[in-house]
Amino acid sequence: MPPFSLHTPGSLNEALSISDGLADSGQEFDWVAGGTDLLPNYKWHLNSKPHVISLARVSELSEISDTHIGAMVRLQDLVESDSVHPLISKVSSMIASVMLRRSGTVGGNICLDTRCFWFNQSEEWRESIEWCYKCDCGTGADCRVIPNQNTLCVATYQADLAPALMCLGASIHLASSGGIRSMALPEFFQEDGVTRNVLEP
């Protein structure tokens, strides 16, 4: 796994302050919740960043009620909760295994990276066939799924929870130092596999 600096804020305000500081200094970073998707990607050297901000200690993101599910709520908590809609409990029970559900979070599941047969391989495998548009690294590489165009990545979204939440008309709330943005969940996603959502650094 490539080396990175891990930041462990104890509150949402502290997390946003850290992210602002990194962004202002031009340093790239990732957010990590349960790490069930991000850390395996890092092991495969897939778009790793020099800084990772963990939300594990941000307790205000773990709240759950009949109208609100925090980003750090564990997927297994949805399975066992009496507060959430039965559809959410049912869908959550079908995600991965109990072990992964005890680590994976709602926010992490919604923000899962897109996946592609060409991209989600070892670094050696990817180098043997040259780069693709998603892991371009400034090489001007083309999409391997739909060649001869380098303007759109068609890597697909793999998360399980978002479709069920959309069926129930869920909204998402995005926090930044500038305030909170709220939108219907479908508006959060984009068609491009590289910039897969409207989440800002």
For the entire predicted model, the pTM comes to 0.89
Q: What is the pLDDT of residue 153?
A: 85
List the CATH number of the domain containing 85.
Answer: 3.30.465.10
Asked whether residue 121 is assigned to any structural domain, the reply reads no
* CA–CA gap between residue 29 and residue 22 (Å, rounded): 7
* CA–CA gap between residue 130 and residue 152 (Å, rounded): 17
Reported as half-sphere exposure (CB side, CA atoms, 13 A), residue 65 has a value of 5
Say yes or no to pLDDT of 136 above 70.
no
Q: What is the pLDDT of residue 67?
A: 94
Asked whether residue 139 is assigned to any structural domain, the reply reads no
Domain extent for 173: 5-115+156-188
Q: Which among 40, 41, 164 is positioned nearest to 93, based on CA atoms?
A: 164
Percent of the chain at pLDDT exceeding 70:
97
Q: Domain tally for the chain? A: 1
Helix (H) and strand (E) counts in the chain:
8, 5
Q: What is the pLDDT of residue 201?
A: 55
